Structure 1
């Protein structure tokens, strides 16, 4: 039985993947904010060859993410894979209790903390892999002097820019740990009928309903994700749109930009300790 950690694991792609994992006999550890959804998945897993553990946590908070990391590393000495799916949309710029823009905190910072924070148990696995479901390869410019959109906030722009930060996170991780066993994969699921969780205005909500009606089901994303978990790529960093590999040698994955982002992020996190 292998162990996989899935953030945003109670809905959409994360939940669909968790169901497949425990149905085939693996242990899925899902992280989410709604205990009712967590219990429902635990009930489903009870009659399968595998099992499921639910951890309740608000990963938009750095303190909560660090606490979750402590629990994960204490309870799971070996983790075979981590799949980062958590996302929550805001039509209006929203700050967390820690004073961080919500999208930046959840969609980027929590993924960075989990990527590095789970290195220990990942290194104990045979072929460990991190899959960051963040939509790699988009050419949205990075506003280096305003990463948290204090001057101008737009939901789509903020999410695309944060996706770019995840591209650079993947590059930094590979630069720092590419000689180790953990492979880092950036994954674009394409338009998928997920829960589209968030607090959005009526116009955005109507648009998302239209998108969901046209999109492929979350279960369609599970097969390419399973291939990456079962047979991780040989290269330290790769990127895929479903089963199609993307070129990570472009400027969108610049090592220089990745180092710049790492310095800015390290300074920010140091102030939050």
Structure 2
């Protein structure tokens, strides 16, 4: 039996993946901010006679204290993780600073994934063919605002998400650079536009844009097909990237090792590591 940890596993792509592996007889832990959705996940497991293999950790991943507590809970429960799937994302039209003094999207979309990736690495390395699947946005054209990563001067929700995608690209590059001998495969994956709940806080104009996107978006069932292929047979390369199932070179512009190291050092300082 394999162990899967899925952040954002109570909704959308994360939920579909979690249910798929639960039905295959695997052990699955999901992390989510909604206690109600977490209970629904456990109910679904009970309906499948899989309650003993389903776990839920309630955490707001925009808060680093809750993210660390979730990681500690996972570490106390498992000696090995076969796959870490990072799906949690939350859009905000307006800028929000968390109680810890961090911009919400930067904390939720990037910092939490940094902590999960690095702080669970040893449990992943204990597995035979471990993989981290970071569902973000490789291939995107977002700009990294190095002097204002939390966008205090000019916040825009789309800009924050686009930058977050780039930061996660560099997270993957940095993970591979920090652990050249690791057996963990780091996969960056852009699923394209998928008809999910689009968790977030939207202005009326942005909400209308989201509704329009839903009309042509692929279904969750379609979107997870190439994702399952990657999880079931992780690529041989230490770092790889895919856009809607098609491989993308994780080298060159957007994936510079020097920028990844710069970001890693900045993040470690910010998090007090």
- TM-score tier, shorter chain, comes to over 0.9
Q: Once the two structures are superposed, what CA deviation does each residue of 1:64-121 show, in whole Å capped at 9, x if it has no partner? A: 1111111001101111000000011110111111011100000000000000011121
Corresponding residue of 2:180: 178
1:23, 1:49 within 8 Å by CA — same for their partners in 2? no
2:62 aligns with 60
Q: Return the alpha-carbon distance in structure 1 between the equivalents of residues 14 and 217 of structure 2.
A: 16
Instruction: Note the aligned Cα RMSD (angstroms).
Output: 1.2
| Residue correspondence of structure 1 range 76-91 to structure 2 within 5 A | 76-91=78-93
Structure 1 equivalent of residue 139 of structure 2: 137
Residue 243 (structure 2) aligned to one of 222, 241, 244: 241
Match of 1:147 in 2: 149
Q: Which residue of 2 aligns with 1:29?
A: 29
TM-score, normalised via structure 1 length: 0.96
Q: Is residue 28–residue 54 contact of structure 2 (8 Å, CA) maintained in 1?
A: yes
What SS is found at the alignment partner of 1:192? Answer: coil
In structure 1, stretches of 5+ residues that fail to align are none
SS state of the match for residue 137, structure 2?
Answer: coil
Q: Describe the superposition over 1:162-183 as per-residue Cα deviations: whole angstroms up to 9, x where unpaired.
A: 1100000000000011311101
Map of 1:67-146 to 2, 5 A cutoff? Answer: 67-146=69-148
Check whether the contact 2:191–2:245 (CA below 8 A) recurs between aligned residues: no
Deviations 1:105-139 (A, max 9, x none): 00000000000011121111110000000011212
SS of corresponding position for 1:245: strand
For residues 190-269 of structure 1, the aligned pairs below 5 Å read 190-269=192-271
Secondary structure in structure 1 of the residue aligned to 2:97 = coil
Question: Alignment partner of 1:116: what SS?
Answer: helix
Q: State whether residues 193 and 218 of structure 1, in contact with CA within 8 Å, keep that contact through their aligned partners in structure 2.
A: yes
Residue aligned with 1:223, SS? helix
User: What whole-Å deviation, never above 9, does each CA across 1:139-196 have from its counterpart, x for those lacking one?
Assistant: 2221110000011011111110111000000000000113111010000000001111
Q: Count residues with an aligned counterpart.
A: 271
Q: 1 CA distance for matches of 2:160 and 2:241?
A: 21
SS in 2 for 1:141: coil
SS at 2:251 equivalent:
coil
Q: TM-score, normalised by structure 2?
A: 0.96
Q: Distance in 1 between matches of 2:141 and 2:200?
A: 24
Deviation at residue 49 of structure 1 after TM alignment: 6.4
- 2:124 and 2:131 in contact (8 A); partners too: yes
Distance in 1 of aligned mates of 2:27 and 2:42? 11
What's the secondary structure of 1:258's corresponding residue?
Answer: helix
- Cα distance in 2, alignment partners of residues 65 and 140 from structure 1: 25
Moved more, 212-221 or 45-54: 45-54
